[in-house]
Chain A
Amino acid sequence: MKDNEFSNSRRDFLKRTGLASLGLLSCSALSAAIPSGNGRLGGLLGALGPDEAQAAPEIIDIKDKLRTTFGSRKVEMSHVDMKTPIIAENGAVVPIKISSDLPMNSGDYVKRIYIFADKNHNPFIASMDLTPANGKAALALRIKMRQTSQVRAILETSNGKLYGSTKTVKVTIGGCGG
Chain B
Amino acid sequence: MIKKNNLLKTFVFAAALLVGMGTSSFWAGKAIAADSKDAGTIEDLTPSMSYAEYQKRYEAYYGDATAQMAEEGNPADFLLDDGKDLANKVVGSKGKSCASCHGKDALKLKGVATGYPKYNAALGGIMTIPLQINTCLKQAMGAKPLKYESYDQLALTMYVKSLSNGMPIKVSIDGPAQPFYKKGEAAYYKRQGQLNFSCAICHVQYAGYKARSNLISNNKHHVDHWPSYRLKWGKTGSLQRRFRGCLKNMRAKRQPYQSEEYRNMELYLTYINNGDLIQVPGMRM
Interface stretch of the complex, out of A21-29, A30-38, A40-48, A89-97: A89-97
When distances are taken between beta carbons in the complex, the residues of chain A under 8 Å from B213 are: 87, 89, 170, 172, 174-175
A90, B6: Cβ atoms closer than 8 Å: no
Pick the contact of B245: A85, A93, A177 (CB < 8 A): A177
Residue on A nearest B254 in the bound complex, by CB: A178
The answer to whether A51 has its CB under 8 Å from any CB of chain B is no
Rounded to whole angstroms, the CA-CA distance of A89 and B249 in the bound complex is 14
Q: Using an 8 Å CB-CB cutoff, how does the interface string of B1-18 with A read, 1 for contact, 0 for none?
A: 111011001000000000
Q: Give CA–CA (A87, B69) in the complex, Å.
A: 16
Q: Is B45 an interface residue (CB 8 A)?
A: no
B2: contacting residue among A3, A174, A175, A178, CB under 8 A = A3
Are A178 and B72 in touch, CB under 8 angstroms? no
Contacting residues of chain B (233-259) with chain A, CB-CB under 8 angstroms: 233-234, 242, 244-250
**B246 adjacent to A176 (CB under 8 Å):** yes
Chain A contact residues: helix, strand, loop or mixed = loop
Contact: B234 with A7, CB < 8 Å? no
A8 within 8 A of B: yes
Q: Mark A66-98, 1 if CB is under 8 A from B, else 0.
A: 000000000000000000010111101101000
> In the complex, which residues 3-60 of chain B have their Cβ closer than 8 Å to any Cβ of chain A?
3, 5-6, 9
B231 lies within 8 A of A89 (CB): yes
Residues in chain A near residue B104, CB distance under 8 A? none
A178 in contact with B65 (CB, 8 Å)? no
Question: B246 is contacted by which of A93, A140, A170, A178 (Cβ under 8 Å)?
Answer: A178
Q: Which residue of B lies closest to A144 (CB)?
A: B234
- Complex Cα spacing A159 to B113, Å: 58
Return chain B residues, CB-CB under 8 Å to A106.
none
Tell me the smallest distance from the CB of B101 to a CB of chain A, in Å.
36
Least CB distance from B18 to A in Å reads 22
**In the bound complex, what is the Cα–Cα distance between A119 and B249 (angstroms)?**
28
Q: Tell me, yes or no, whether B216 is within 8 Å of chain A by CB.
A: yes
Q: Quick check: A90 and B231 within 8 Å, CB to CB?
A: yes
Known: A175-B213, A177-B214. A3 touches B231 (CB 8 A): no
Contacting pair B65 A176 (CB below 8 A): no
Is the pair A178, B242 in contact by a Cβ cutoff of 8 Å?
yes
Q: Contacting B214 at CB < 8 Å: which of A92, A95, A170, A174?
A: A174
Residues of chain B whose beta carbon lies under 8 Å from any beta carbon of chain A: 1-3, 5-6, 9, 65, 69, 72, 202, 210-214, 216, 230-234, 242, 244-250, 285
What are the nearest 9 A-B pairs in CB distance? A178-B245, A175-B212, A175-B211, A175-B214, A176-B211, A93-B231, A90-B232, A178-B246, A177-B232
